[in-house]
Amino acid sequence: MLDVVPAVEHPDLLADPVRKALDGLEGADRWGVAEIDPELADTAAFCERYQVGLEVSANCVVVAAKRAGEIRYAACMVLATDRADVNGIIRRHLDARKISFAPMTEAVGLTAMEYGGITPLGLPADWPLLIDTAVARSPEVVVGSGLRRSKLFVPGSALTTLPTAETLTLALNR
């Protein structure tokens, strides 16, 4: 069973950049956090063990967009039931010639978060945050906390208020 508590009262359950971003964030009181088994941080294992529906779990994926020798990074949020259209919608939106998922070492190094816990809160300030409309409309979504040992619980609409956030349809299956 998950014990969701106010995230602002449990900074020990948040990665440093997440904790710093939450500090002073308007609406921070709407963010909850729950400690989990770090071996179950991956979405499917987490949802199965803690009986959380895939439709309320949102994944944050880091992409590397390339154009004219320049690499730009962005984060994309989609529900676990959906697949992001990386090579179509996201590539065009970021005006990239080529796009791919960022390698794990790059994603971890650039975000200062643990792989399997990367979250939209506390990302580098110059990264676009692309949020699928289904995530934005969700009353509550479960996302990473920056650590594998906990998860954040937040209204989808709160994600759309984060700096650099843009809401658009990212999923292939809609």
Does the pLDDT value for residue 174 go beyond 80?
A: no
Parallel, antiparallel or unpaired: strands 98-101 and 58-67: antiparallel
What's the pLDDT tens digit per position in 95-107? 999 999 999 999 9
87, two tokens? 């090579």
β-sheet bridge partners, residue 117: none
Q: All domains of the chain, ordered by start, with CATH?
A: 5-168 (3.90.960.10)
What's the pLDDT tens digit per position in 49-102? 999 999 999 999 999 999 999 999 999 999 999 999 999 999 999 999 999 999
Reference 47, options 69, 55, 166, 116; nearest CA is: 55
Does the pLDDT value for residue 157 go beyond 90?
A: yes
121, two tokens? 């809160």
80, two tokens? 């676990």
What's the pLDDT tens digit per position in 5-37? 999 999 999 999 999 999 989 999 999 999 999
Q: Burial letters for 77-113: b for 16+ Cβ neighbours within 10 Å, e otherwise?
A: bbbbebebbbeebbbebbebeebeebeeeebbebbbb
